[in-house]
Structure 1
Amino acid sequence: MNTIVHRPIHAALRPTLGWSDTWQGPDQGLIRCWEAGRERALKHPDIARRCIAGELPVLGWKGGVERTLKKLEKFGSLKYLAHWQGLRGDDLQIDTTAELTISCSRTGMVVTFTPEQSKYYNSQVENEE
């Protein structure tokens, strides 16, 4: 099984797929999240500019940061990472078995994007304190 999900930025958006094909396919919805980021960049260039500048704005998935929290580290979803890459105009490039850590240029918060959902769901309460 290939653990790298890759799509070049110049690839055309795919036609609309059914829910099962989109979210339960081999990429588990990462390609759709990336495509949604590309679409959002066209509608909201201000958000795209922030992402290009290294910010991790709040989006529809766990991983964005609005402000600096007491605990400067948190976990985020690979779906957030895919959406963020699309907003930036980057190729989709995610290893579904590895973690990737990015520091938000605006808040200084460090976010580790992980395939382990339990890490970002269990840490939500801790990070909000």
Structure 2
Amino acid sequence: MSQHVQRTIDTPLRSGLTRTQLWEAADKGLIKCWEIGRQRANRFPDLAQKCLAGELPVLGWKGGVSRSLKKTEKYGSLKYLAQWQGLRGEDLDIDLSEERSLTCSRTKMRVTFTPDRTKYFNQVAEAEA
């Protein structure tokens, strides 16, 4: 089984799948997150433009930044990264075994998207301590 999840932007959106097929298959729900991003790009063009400009806006998954914090680095979910790629109109391209870092063009916060949920799950409490 490949640890790399990829789909081209011209791949049609899937339909008729069960919750288990969407969220618990080998892709860990990344394809669904990417498809949601593609749909939101059509409904919210301003949000898509922010993503295209390199911003990491707040979305439904950990990883977005609304403002700069004292600590200029944080962790985010690969699901966020997948949705962000969809919002940008990009191919889905995520390796489930690797971390990937991006810097928000607006806040200059660096976000490392990781498959390790423990790195971002209790992050807010750590940042405020």
TM-score category (smaller protein): over 0.9
> Which residue does the alignment assign to 1:49?
49
Report the alpha carbon displacement of residue 35 of structure 1 after superposing the two structures with TM: 0.2
**Does structure 2 conserve the Cα–Cα contact (< 8 Å) formed by 1:3 and 1:97?**
yes
Shift of 1:127: 3.0
Q: Which residue is equivalent to 2:98?
A: 98
Q: Deviations over 1:104-128 (max 9, x none)?
A: 0000000000000000012221235
Q: Is the 8 A contact 1:69 1:128 kept in 2?
A: no
Return the TM-score normalized by structure 1: 0.97
Give the distance between the partners of 2:111 and 2:79, measured in 1 at CA.
13
Structure 1: segments with no counterpart, 5+ residues = none
3-state SS of 2:68 partner: coil
Q: Deviations over 1:32-87 (max 9, x none)?
A: 00000000000000000000000000000000000000100000000000000000
Q: Secondary structure of 2:6's partner? A: strand
Q: Is 1:109–2:109 an aligned residue pair? A: yes
| Percent identity over paired residues | 58
CA RMSD, 1 decimal: 0.9
Q: Is the 8 A contact 1:9 1:92 kept in 2?
A: yes
Give 3-state SS (helix, strand or coil) of 2:40's partner: helix
Dislocated runs of 4+, deviation >6 Å? none
Residue of structure 1 in register with 2:68 after alignment: 68
Deviates more, 1:119-128 or 1:28-37: 119-128
What is the total number of aligned residue pairs between the two structures? 129
1:112-127 to structure 2, matched below 5 A, reads 112-127=112-127
Moved more, 117-126 or 49-58: 117-126
Report the residue type matching 1:120 in the other structure. Answer: Y
2:95 is the alignment partner of 1:81 = no
The alignment status of 1:34 with 2:34, answered yes or no, reads: yes
In structure 2, what is the Cα distance between the partners aligned to 1:39 and 1:127? 33
Q: Is there any run of 5+ residues in structure 2 with no aligned partner, and where?
A: none
Residue type of the alignment partner of 2:107: T
